[in-house]
Chain A
Amino acid sequence: MMSFLNNYAYYIGAFGLISIGLYIILVKRNLIKVIIGLGILDTGVNLFLIAVGYVTKGTAPIFSRPGINPARMVDPVPQALVLTAIVIGVGVLALALSLAIRLYQHYGTLNLRKIREQKW
């Protein structure tokens, strides 16, 4: 059991974050909460990608001083991909928040049910 937890703790955590984010997106009616769920989902996916690239007892892939063993470095490709994903996530969140601001000014509410019932 402990070795299972040691091996899969990051996967379980990442997948837990993804499920929490999906649940919030599917169930919540407040637009701000849906955007927060999007952020949590994003974090879960990033954590999962980083965990896939991890090597046991590995070091960061940086040759900051001589004598670092390259065989023990973690995989740099998922880290570069997650760098991209974080930046895209910031852009998506900023755009979603600006749309939420405009929706609130137009309808006076952030409740998605009420917005759907109202006329344009």
Chain B
Amino acid sequence: MRRVLSILLLLVLVVGISLSLAKIPFGVTKTKVGRHYVDQGVRETGATNIVTSVVLSYRGFDTLGEVTVLFISAVGLGAVLTGAAIGKKRKVRAASVILTTGCRLLFPLILTFGTYIFVHGHLTPGGGFQGGAIIASGFLLVYLGCRERRINRTASSVTESLGGLLFVIIGLLGITLGGYFLSNFLPKGVPNALLSAGIIPIIYIAIGFKVGSELASIIDNLIEES
């Protein structure tokens, strides 16, 4: 009964949404604002990666909200899981030699790659969120390969708070120096140079540290407390 009702509901949704989807043309430009960003983005923000200039310059306030949502979900996960494993001793079987050696070899390389991704976020594909996710995957590899190693929780929460604070402080400096929140008060420099685009690389580095330590602490909580 429940299954039949669900399938009927799905059918109604499928017909309704596909009738409206058929009106949307595929493969043509639809928004004027997107054209404006592509045509004027490099001149207005200095970042050659237009997605980065949209995320951090045109819609920087939006990104601050997004970072806050990720922070709240990490805090919520910690609050829900804290104390779940009290009094339980978990048996940890040591990993094989191949996994341990591979993890020791790969971990610094993964950290370097993640840092490269978020430092070059305004020039190449990638950015703070992607680089942070890569760094957290390095910590996941450590949890798989060297199972007695744990991240330092104080250090990870300090990094997380400093990243968030740097984002907000740069935004507030924008009010004093540029007139509005998150205004780009630093010189824009030459496009495609590493030191260009004003505050955008600084904010992306802050986001990279914040997201990396947040996702690593989520992994740590899920493994330790359950």
What are 7 contact pairs spanning A and B, CB under 8 A?
A: A26-B9, A62-B50, A75-B29, A80-B55, A83-B127, A94-B218, A101-B222
Q: How many residues of B contact A (CB 8 A)?
A: 59
Q: A63 near B48 (CB under 8 angstroms)?
A: yes
A7 touches B37 (CB 8 A): no
One of B16-24, B160-168, B177-185 at the interface? B16-24
When distances are taken between beta carbons in the complex, the residues of chain B under 8 Å from A19 are 10, 13-14
Task: Judge whether B27 and A7 touch: CB under 8 Å.
Answer: yes
Q: Say yes or no: A88-B66 contact (C-beta < 8 A), given A55-B29, A99-B80.
A: yes
Closest to B18 in A: A15
Q: Per a CB cutoff under 8 Å, which of B21, B27, B30 touches A15?
A: B21
CB distance from A41 to the nearest CB of B (A): 12
List 20 extra interface pairs beyond A64-B123, A94-B222, A98-B80, CB under 8 A: A7-B26, A8-B22, A10-B26, A11-B24, A15-B17, A52-B30, A62-B125, A63-B42, A70-B38, A76-B38, A80-B55, A83-B55, A83-B129, A84-B63, A84-B66, A87-B211, A88-B70, A90-B215, A91-B73, A95-B80
With both beta carbons as reference points, the residue of chain B lying nearest to A63 in the complex is identified as: B48
- Helix, strand, loop or mixed for chain B's interface? helix
Asked if B17 contacts A62 (CB within 8 A), the reply is no
Which secondary structure characterizes the binding site on chain A?
helix
Considering the complex, which residues of chain A in the window 1-36 have a beta carbon less than 8 Å from any beta carbon of chain B? 7-8, 10-11, 15, 18-19, 22-23, 26-27
The residues of B that contact A64 with a CB separation of less than 8 Å are 48, 123-124, 192
Does chain A have a CB within 8 A of B76?
yes
> Contact: B31 with A62, CB < 8 Å?
no
Known contacts A64-B124, A94-B222; is A101 also within 8 Å of B21 by CB?
A: no
Flag if A70 contacts B39 (CB, 8 Å): yes
Q: Does A79 contact B (CB under 8 A)?
A: yes
A88 x B24 contact (CB < 8 A): no
A55 to B3, CA, bound (A): 39
**What's the nearest-Cβ distance from chain B to residue A15, in Å?**
6
Assess whether B221 is interfacial by the CB under 8 Å rule.
Answer: yes
